[in-house]
Structure 1
Amino acid sequence: MDDIERLKDAIGSARRIVAFTGAGISTESGIPDFRSPGGIWTKYQPIYFDDFMASEEMRRESWRRKFATDETMIKAEPNAGHRALAKLIEQGRMTSIITQNIDGLHQLSGVPDSKIIELHGNTTYASCLDCGHRHELGPIRKAFLGSGKLPLCEKCDGIVKTATISFGQAMPEIQMARAQDETMNCDLFIVLGSSLVVYPAAGFPRIAKRKGAKLVIVNREATDQDDDADLVIHAEIGPTMSKAVGVN
């Protein structure tokens, strides 16, 4: 039995599947991996959350970077990997997708928000750091690129930031708790495109394995958790998952 058949077999015999997605699934849609050589974090010093809050200059630089790199994100479309997961969600076989990605491609592939657990937030909209009110990016982009105006909340005048988790910002408690709960109750945990180096998120595969779930890792490069996995496939995610699930 080859690896695809083994993956298909694992999916077919599972009752509660959880996916854990990282940058590797989105690079196949043309979104660069920030941590790779030549990625954003090798070109720019990251802006820490405390600095964003304390300095208007840092907030300005954060929004400048956001809109300078946004073009790629806006054009990106879900790929075969995203569509395969959407099909498993639709079939009721997959209970949730835990993601480290901030690009909203799982939502675009048709997965309901309620099934997506975003550990690092979402860069496709902004929110007020005081009252939590959601702000769409269109008016913010127009005002910032037009006159350099920094966004303030229309409800409470609070500071507005993309709805992502910055360096030094606390992980979202509700999402982490949901991810923990889903991980502990699944019988198949599939890692897709994560190097499994960013903690605490990278701890979830080991929790799943410890609770008795089967662990599958699909990633182009080796990870530190390959030895823990029941099945490791070093290949592109889209072709691998579409063959295993039966989607184009």
Structure 2
Amino acid sequence: MSDGVDRTETTDEVPDWRERRGPVAVLTGAGISTSSGIPDFRGPMGVWTQNPIAELTANYADYLRDPELRVRSWIARRDNPAWHAQPNEGHFALAELERHRSVRVLTQNIDRLHHRAGSTPRKVLELHGNMFEVVCTQPAWRCGWTGAMRGVLDRVAAGEPDPPCERCGGILKAATIMFGQNLDEEVLGLAAAIARGAAVFLAVGSTLRVQPAAGLCELAAMHGADLVIVNNEPTAYDDLATEVVREPISEALPRIVAELSAVG
């Protein structure tokens, strides 16, 4: 009977990845947070699968051009379940791994559940930003304002459906990376360095369709890391993986962390 795991044969010359010492890097996607009540985007019950129009709110050019789209975006930010979500066993497991191994979390998520679970903030790299801060879309040399999302949502509740920047009058948005925007070069460079230096690279709950984050898997494997993919659906990087795990993340991660922790 299948245990839900695709296993790669090992030999005496190639130790099991669970026994490897060295840094561990973990790329996390939306799938790690679904057990916390935050739907993913492209899964069978994903936000964009159920409502393809909602994906338009993630396009930067459309957002800047369409005031009505921005109004819908502010409502979506107000109603995002991440405001009330709690970390699950997967988040807590990764926080626990810090006690035993050198570990960095590279997350595509904007919900900060890794922080709430106890992961050291400086060890969590937010590749796509976070939803709890707001930025002005005007260039930094012209404005550069940033602030708390709660304060701007208070303005929405007070009757400003599309609140402008109070410093320059420009368009505001969440401090997240939208389609059509480039990742921060410093963040991406650090993520690449972490991937190159990893002994074990876990890709957890990500469809691995969005670049350049997904490409970190190949980068890690090219530099000798054991790539372990934990995801319910096949990904484009499965053939590179030492092992592919098809189990619920909240069950698989605590076990994987326990195995990695035993090595020290």
TM-score tier by shorter-chain length is 0.7 to 0.9
Whole-angstrom CA distance in 2 between matches of 1:15 and 1:22 = 23
* Aligned equivalents of 1:115, 1:220: Cα separation in 2: 26
Distance 2:190 2:217 in 1: 14
Partner of 1:79: 88
Residue of structure 2 in register with 1:53 after alignment: 64
Report the residue type matching 1:79 in the other structure. N
1:96-154 CA-to-partner distances (Å, cap 9, x unmatched) read 11111111111111122211122211112222233444321222222212313533334
Which stretch of structure 1 is more off in the superposition, 57-66 or 180-189? 57-66
What per-residue deviation string (whole Å, max 9, x for no partner) do you get for residues 65-107 of structure 1? 222x31x21121111111111112243421x111111111111
2:158, 2:224 → 1: CA distance? 55
User: Residue 201 of structure 1: SS of its match in structure 2?
Assistant: coil
The match for 2:76 is 65
- Give the drift of 1:196: 1.3
Tell me whether 1:17 sits opposite 2:24 in the alignment: yes
Conserved 8 A contact 1:46-1:167 = no
Change (3 A) 1:221 1:54: closer
**Shift in Å at residue 157 of structure 1?**
4.2
User: What amino acid sits opposite 1:97 in the alignment?
Assistant: V
Identity of aligned residues (%): 38
Looking at structure 2, the residues matched to 106 and 30 of structure 1 have their Cα atoms a distance apart, in angstroms, of 15
Letter in 1 for 2:105: I
84-93 or 172-181, which moves further after superposition? 84-93
Residues 146 and 39 (structure 1 numbering): CA distance in 2 closer, same or farther, change over 3 Å?
farther
4+ long deviations beyond 6 Å: none
Q: 2:254 aligns with which of 237, 242, 246?
A: 242
- State how 1:195-206 maps to structure 2 within 5 Å: 195-206=207-218
Structure 1 counterpart of 2:220, which letter? A
* Structure 2 segments unaligned to the other structure (5+ residues): 9-15, 260-264
| Distance in 1 between residues matched to 2:84 and 2:19, nearest whole Å | 34
CA contact (8 A) 2:39 2:45 kept: no
Within a 5 Å distance, the mapping from 1:194-233 to structure 2 comes to 194-233=206-245
Please give the secondary structure, in 1, of the residue aligned with 2:158. helix
Q: Tell me what 2:33 maps to.
A: 26
Deviation at 1:28, TM superposition (A): 1.6
Note the alpha carbon deviations across 1:29-52, whole angstroms, 9 max, x for none.
111012224433241241321232
- Provide the alpha-carbon RMSD of the alignment: 2.5
How many pairs align?
A: 241
What is the aligned partner in structure 2 of residue 163 from structure 1?
Answer: 175
Contact 2:29 2:205 in 1 (8 A): yes
Counterparts in 2 of 1:149 and 1:233: CA distance versus 1, 3 Å: closer
Contact 1:14/1:93 (CA < 8 Å) preserved in 2? Answer: no
Gaps of 5+ in 1: none
Which TM-score applies when normalising by structure 2? 0.82
CA contact (8 A) 2:24 2:101 kept: no
Counterpart-to-counterpart distance in 1, 2:119 and 2:193: 19
Does the CA contact (< 8 Å) of 1:151 and 1:160 recur in 2? yes
Q: For the Cα contact (< 8 Å) 2:131–2:175, is it kept in 1?
A: yes
CA distance in structure 2 between the aligned counterparts of 1:66 and 1:37, rounded to whole angstroms: 22
Contact residue 221 and residue 227 of structure 2 kept, 8 A: yes
* Residue among 34, 39, 58 paired with 2:46: 39
CA distance in structure 2 between the partners assigned to 1:193 and 1:38 by the alignment? 14
Cα shift at 1:17: 0.5
